[in-house]
Amino acid sequence: MGNRRGTRSTRCRIRARFRTSAAGFTLIEMLIALVIMTAGLLSAGQLMYVAMASASLARSKGTAATVASDKLEFLADVFRRNHLDASLTDGNHGPEHVQVTNPNTGTALNRFRVQWTVSTVPDPRAGKVLQAKLVRVTVTPVRGEDTTNNRVGLNKVVSISSIFGPRAQ
């Protein structure tokens, strides 16, 4: 019988320990878990904000590069037709305002100020003159008609250069 009592008291102690450990989490454990979960959710929210801002900036810069490229193509065509055109004289030209709209809704996505600078290409040979022009197109995001967009991260200026020359025969 002594053997049985010892076994019973051991069983009671094990059950008592099991009951206290199964009672749930302590308040401190819950607070620590909430702090860790809050920090994780806040960092995930910040990551989503940065990702959306980066996507917006990439779209804006891509659109600005497309506008600059379109202007360069237009000026190259003008050069091929008439290299003495007024838009290809040496100096600064513009500004022209370009608005990119959403084709589905018709709302304005981006507004840009387009300016270009034309200069002659120097010839390293003495006494020789090249019939070529260096054209640099600069596209600046704007608000409204002519106010430069100074929002941090969205005021990136895109500049593309090209040299126009006569075609080789």
Distance CA 94, CA 111 (A): 15
Residue 21 has φ and ψ, to the nearest 5°, of -80, -25
Residue 52: exposure state from Cβ atoms within 10 A (0-12, 13-18, ≥19): exposed
Q: Which of 14-18, 41-45, 101-105 has the lowest mean pLDDT?
A: 14-18
Say yes or no to pLDDT of 148 above 80: no
The percent of residues above 70 in pLDDT, for the chain, comes to 78
pTM over 0.85? The answer is no
Q: Which residue has the higher pLDDT, 83 or 143?
A: 83
Q: What average pLDDT does range 115-135 have in this prediction?
A: 86
Q: What is the mean pLDDT of residues 32-53?
A: 91
Query: Six-digit token pair at 58?
Result: 């990439």
Per-residue pLDDT, 169: 44
Q: How many CA atoms lie within 13 A of 11 on its CB side?
A: 6
Please determine, for residue 161, whether its predicted confidence score (pLDDT) is greater than 80. Answer: yes
75 pLDDT exceeds 80? yes
